[in-house]
Amino acid sequence: MCIWAKVNPLLLIFAATLTAQTVEDARRIERELRDRHVPFGTILDPFFAAPDSEEIRHYTRCGDSAIWTGHYLAAASFRYAVERTPESLEAVEYALEGIRRLTDVTGRDILARCAIPLDAPTAAAIVEEEKHNGVYQGEIYGAPYLWIGNTSRDQYAGVFFGLTAAWNLVDVQPVHDRVSWLTTRLLDELTDRQWIVRMPDGSNSTTFLHRADQQLSLLKLGRRLNPKRFETHYKALANSASATVSIPVAVEAADPHESYFKFNLTSIHFWNLLTSGDNWWIRRNYESAYAILRRTTDDHGNPVFQLIDRAIRGPDTRRDQETRDLLRAWLERPRRDTPV
């Protein structure tokens, strides 16, 4: 058996921009992503019948569909900022529709990990894999769906990364309207419940209460697109807690190996925090915390972290050339992940 490699759409699209045939490579990757990874409107990983087979038996990693759909939206937004074509705008709208589905299906403006049509042939395999997270029933456009709960902060981080990228980079009013609508729904639910994510069975799947840095990351987008609703909340939290942002970052950086994905999450939160304005004192607190992160990750050979660093700190000849080299090397890697 063979699983299609766990996909980071942001890396896929960025890598395509470095080849000799930039536009065609980006379109090829986009087609491949849509053909194989988006059976129900959000990112999943296909499970093939054999290492050399194109037959998809079922899908896996549904539990991380929300975070990777958010990365897909971010990638599509960056691509639109470069190409500004109808095709690249359609990709943004397609990804936004996926996030809407993950919000609508719960019926309560909480975020689902993923959503599968009730009658999908692959539904049983997905449910078996994800049943430990809780399986609930909802509707999308009147059709019955199953959705996976126990939603984590990771899933919200990915979605808000994508929504922030779309707001920052896609200067199209219908896109801004949709981003504003989705963000307001999700943030209203989080703030109304004091940053606790509660499932339909009454269980609490996660809380942001101990992570002021992550609250600020999400609220910062809300402040930009709906200041009447969220600016006061953001400013109050930023003035009282921005000086503490470095604490969880320092704890995470103390062990650069355990739970390595924490660095991806922290990096996308800082992209949200440091790509729009604040007063000098709040920004200095964010920059001090980000400096701790970069001292840990700047030699990891991770092109996503390098790209986020460019967005935050601007051009750097050595780092940017290293990023190009890393992405070219990444394009040579196989796309299949074969379990041993």
Of the candidates 197, 13, 6, the residue with the CA atom closest to the CA atom of residue 110? 197
Q: What is the DSSP string of 249-300?
A: HHHHHT-SSTTTTHHHHHHHHHHHHHSS---HHHHHHHHHHHHHHHHHHTTS
Out of 27-31, 43-47, 263-267, pick the least confident: 27-31
Residue 116: pLDDT band (50, 70, 90) is very high
Distance CA 183, CA 218 (A): 9
Q: What is the pLDDT averaged over residues 45-49?
A: 90
pLDDT value of position 105: 98
pLDDT value of position 324: 86
Residue 5: pLDDT band (50, 70, 90) is very low
Each residue's pLDDT tens digit, 220-235 = 999 999 999 999 999 9
Residue 137: pLDDT band (50, 70, 90) is very high
Q: What is the pLDDT averaged over residues 67-75?
A: 95
pLDDT value of position 118: 96
The residues with which 58 forms a beta bridge, in sequence order, are 47
Q: Letter for the amino acid at 69?
A: T
pLDDT value of position 3: 45
Out of 12-26, 156-170, 309-323, pick the least confident: 12-26
Distance CA 132, CA 139 (A): 21
Residue 20: pLDDT band (50, 70, 90) is very low
Each residue's pLDDT tens digit, 148-191 = 999 999 999 999 999 999 999 999 999 999 999 999 999 999 99
CA distances from residue 240 to 17, 84, 224 in whole angstroms, order as listed: 41, 40, 19
Higher-confidence residue: 15 or 45?
A: 45
Q: What is the pLDDT averaged over residues 289-311?
A: 94
pLDDT value of position 9: 56
